[in-house]
Amino acid sequence: MGRRGGTAVKWLGSIAVLGLSAGCGMGGLLGSTAGDAGVSVAQSVQKDAGPIDAGRDAGGGPPADAGTLDAGTPDGGMASHTIGVPPAGRLYHGVFPAGTTLPDSDISMNVLQGYQDAVGRPLAWVYFSHEWFRGKAFPRVTAEAIRNRGAVPFVRLHIRSQQVQLVTDPTYTLDRIVAGEFDADLRAWADGAKAFGTPLIVQYGTEINGDWYPWSAPYNGGWTVGPARFRAAFRHIVQVMRAEGADNITWALHYNGENWPADNPLNVPQSYYPGDDVVDWIGLSIYGNYGTTDDKCRAFADLLQQREGEIAQVTTRKPLFIFEVGISSSATFCDPTNWVRTVLNGLLGGRWPELRGFSWWDESDMLVQGNPILQTPFHDVLNGPNAAALLDRPLLP
């Protein structure tokens, strides 16, 4: 989640056509864990995402907060291929669980457990950031902890040297990525992903149509050349990793639900699309409200319709997901309980059959567990009359 301030499309299966819009884990529960809800993989395993990450803790055993393997084969029962796309009318359900020291990457397995207990449903994927300023090695410990809980790791590949927004990164510019200066690092990461052996979802360029991350156009030559540089960098990253044989990765492109700034005609999804050959999934961030200082109540359906129309100008062949959805429970310009209930009922009830999955941003005042403002609608809808729309297991070849 970053700083955020028409032709409609009907998506049919993994193919979309222009038209009129109608509106806008895998098996078992997570293994139970004990201890403080703030305990994280990074705390129990020493710098999960850092260069020393070898998939084990300092004592040579499994991470203390990682639970046990899912029943099945030693790798959790998943095949060494990419995750499938749900058929029309079915949805994957995922989550970003809050962390402790670095919220995006230091995710807590106990927060993850708490979310799943609160909503009462399994998860298809678990979402987290891999921050290169913490280390460039493939984050195997975190990925294994997620796999051990029966979900597919969904990695936000954050190639940056600092966690600072609204600035040019002093190291990982798009031009330097395209020039191949970090190819050795990319190949090593791909080798780690390949050795992991089971499905991964990986995105680069989180919320690219915003202006807060260092891969955004303003920090890579401006609006006239930045989008082309991003397209080239995305293509380069995917091509290098595919050439290394990491064929268990599903490559995702992540747009923000709002174009920011919204008044720049160059800052639209189609400007950043790198090509059907390097994109497997497309996803959006859609947030209703960010808290007491936010004077807007954003309609999920409206933002979805606007971005779909723009995406359809460059591709109509890719499955569409909501990679991040959320609303502040302290919102004063929205009724968060009603917003959540409306969105979840729409998702599970088939209002947007083009969507194939969603994940909640479970952090801070968007935390579901222990918060009846959010937990009640979640539990009611995800276990209600349309609960069968959720797939409890990822589809594997």
Q: Average pLDDT for consecutive 10-residue bins of the chain (397 residues)?
A: 43 33 30 32 34 28 29 35 94 93 79 97 96 96 95 97 94 98 98 97 98 97 98 98 98 98 96 98 98 95 98 96 98 96 98 98 96 98 98 83
* The pLDDT value given to residue 35: 31
Handedness of CA 327, 331, 337, 343 (dihedral sign): negative
* Domain extent listing, the chain: 33-389
How far apart CA 148 and CA 157 sit, in angstroms, is: 21
Closest to 200 in 3D by CA, of 190, 186, 209, 211: 190
Ramachandran angles phi, psi of 95, nearest 5°: -155, 150
Degrees to nearest 5, angle at CA 379 with 373 and 385: 130
Q: What is the pLDDT of residue 103?
A: 60
Q: What is the pLDDT of residues 221-236, one digit of tens each?
A: 999 999 999 999 999 9
If one counts every other C-beta atom within 10 angstroms of the C-beta of residue 365, the result is 17
What's the gap between Cα 136 and its chain centre?
A: 19
Q: Using only C-alpha atoms, what is the Rg of the chain?
A: 20
Q: Evaluate whether the domain defined by 33-389 bears CATH number 3.20.20.80.
A: yes
Closest by alpha carbon to 220, among 202, 234, 238, 203? 234
Report the pLDDT value the prediction gives residue 8, as an integer from 0 to 100: 33
Picking from 264, 266, 267, the residue whose alpha carbon sits closest to that of residue 255 is 267
* Contacts of residue 23, Cβ cutoff 8 Å, sequence gap at least 6: 301, 305, 346, 351, 352
Q: Which tokens is 106 given?
A: 């230091």
